[in-house]
Structure 1
Amino acid sequence: MNTISNKTYNATPSTIEKEWVLVDAEDKPLGRVSSEVASILRGKNKPEFTPHMDTGDNVIVINAEKAVLTGNKMTDKVYFRHTDYPGGEKFTTADEMLEKDPTSLVTNAVKGMLPKNKLGRKLLTNLRVYAGPVHPHTAQQPEIKEI
């Protein structure tokens, strides 16, 4: 008789162990950094991954202002938003976004790679993005992740 259990493992809040991960975005393509960060936030790099639970780690991204966009994306890539007023379309280039708020490029890229529901919004609260190399989370002793 086969003794292997065919039950699917489901993580529970008491079994989830969260860690802190530090990612340096300096001179790295924005998309590659963002996809790796989104995967860590979601918890897909862990064997305990459960799709409907927050099993991911807390992620700190430093040097967000030094992340690179390949080709002409810095001037050609356009971000769209609407003010909810008639004719309220606003278009912003990646260059303008980087100048106004250097962390917004990384945050928006990661946000787009997370689920579009309550879980995705909860996972985004585990992301901290800083423009420069300094961050206030040294007490958490983050593990440095190379991308």
Structure 2
Amino acid sequence: MRTYVAKGAEAQALQTGANWYVVDATNAVLGRLATKVARILIGKDKPTFTPYLDSGDHVVVINADKIRLTGNKIEQKVYHTHSGYPGGLKTVPVKRVRESRPEWVVREAILGMLPKNKLQARRAKKLRVYRDATGLARHAGQKPQAVAL
């Protein structure tokens, strides 16, 4: 069976009309939540998906502080950053980052699952992550639809 791929003006017409979704991260496993949100950002579940166009939707993730990590990740998972200078490696455990900035942990997990290409930055702008449910009030005008995990 042949696959139809839209090109030119037709592809641009398919790209418009992005929907807004809200995902509640309460008691959700971090990796499973990240894969589902990444699929929505990419637009993989849409019938108009085209690999070289940004046809994804906007996603608002709330209650990032109630995310769940399975296994021993809370003690063993670490984030590494390097300044570029000798001895500039910084290692921070996820437990400490989760206490201070839980929305950063969720955002990094989701963005890590996006394809590394020229569309990555545009797709990342469609993601909003909030620590609690009060951030949802900012996007009431977009009327986001709830997504069940």
Q: TM-score, normalised by structure 1?
A: 0.92
* Aligned amino acid, residue 111 of structure 1: L
Corresponding residue SS for 1:137 = helix
Report the 3-state secondary structure (helix = DSSP H, G, I; strand = E; otherwise coil) of the residue aligned with 1:55: coil
User: Could you list the runs of 5+ residues in structure 1 that have no partner in the other structure?
Assistant: none
Q: Give the deviation of 1:53 after TM superposition.
A: 0.7
Q: Compute the displacement of 1:15 (Å).
A: 2.2
Q: Which stretches of structure 1, 4 residues or more, deviate above 6 A after TM superposition?
A: none
The answer on 1:143 being equivalent to 2:142 is no
How many angstroms does 1:71 deviate by?
A: 1.5
| Residue 8 (structure 1) aligns with | 4
Distance 1:8 1:104, change over 3 A: same
Instruction: Out of 55-64 and 73-82, give the one that drifted further.
Output: 73-82
Matches within 5 A, 1:124-139: 124-135=124-135, 136-139=138-141
2:81 is matched with 81
Partner of 1:50 in structure 2?
A: 50
Residues in 1 aligned to 2:11 and 2:93: alpha-carbon distance in whole angstroms = 42
Structure with more of its chain in helix, by fraction: 2
Write the letter of the residue equivalent to 1:69: L
Counterpart residue identity of residue 51, structure 1: P
Question: Percent of pairs identical after alignment?
Answer: 42
Moved more, 95-104 or 24-33: 95-104
Match of 2:30 in 1: 30
**Secondary structure, aligned partner of 2:51:** coil
Please say if residues 14 and 55 of structure 2, whose CA atoms lie closer than 8 Å, have aligned partners that are also in contact: no
Q: Give the secondary structure class of the aligned counterpart of 1:134.
A: helix
Shift, 1:7, TM fit: 6.4
Of 29-38 and 11-20, deviating more is 11-20
Aligned counterparts, 1:84-123, within 5 A: 84-123=84-123
How far apart in 2 are the matches of 1:118 and 1:89? 28
| 2-structure distance, mates of 1:101, 1:13 | 37
SS at match of 1:79: strand
TM-score by length of 2: 0.91
Measured after TM superposition, the shift of residue 96 of structure 1 is: 1.1
Q: By how many angstroms is 1:94 displaced?
A: 0.9
Taking a change above 3 Å as real, the CA distance of residues 12 and 126 of structure 1, as seen in their structure-2 partners, is: same
1:65-102 deviations in Å (ceiling 9; x for gaps) = 11100122111101111111211001111111112211
Supply the distance in 1 between the matched residues of 2:95 and 2:12 (Cα, whole angstroms). Answer: 41
Secondary structure of the 1:48 match is coil
> Which letter does structure 2 place at the counterpart of 1:35?
T
Q: CA RMSD in A?
A: 1.5
